[in-house]
Amino acid sequence: MPSPTFELFEAICAELHFRDSCVLTNDFLSPERLQELQDEFKEFTPDGAFSKALNSLHEHFKKEGARLPFKFELKSRNSQSETGHTLNSLPK
């Protein structure tokens, strides 16, 4: 079973597959997945869990010499593909 952080990454990429940006509400993940994310990072709030999960993803990609394929604004919870294109239309 993938980690809650990886499931968040997959969910964001799925949302950005056809759109260049999206806003992630607390309903973005199921209540169970959101709780798993909060448990993984020992956070009491969704914002804290989202922040730590995204930082974790950023550090993982950085360690691999890559960067996340999207930008994320925590305050507004806006996620946007890195190039402004849908992830579906990124050059191969």
* Token output for 20: 């260049």
Helices (H), 1-92: 4-15, 31-40, 46-63
pLDDT tier at 11, thresholds 50, 70, 90: confident
For the chain, how many structural domains are there in total? 1
Quick count: other Cβ atoms within 10 Å of Cβ 64?
8
Average pLDDT over residues 40-55: 91
User: What integer is the mean pLDDT of 83-91?
Assistant: 44
Least confident residue range of 46-50, 61-65, 84-88: 84-88
- Higher confidence at residue 38 or residue 12? 38
Average pLDDT over residues 63-84: 74
Question: Is 7 within 8 Å of 66 (Cβ atoms)?
Answer: no
Which one of 2-16, 33-47, 59-73 scores highest in mean pLDDT? 33-47
- Answer left, alpha or beta for residue 60, where phi above 0 means left and psi between -120 and 50 means alpha: alpha
Domain housing 49: 4-89
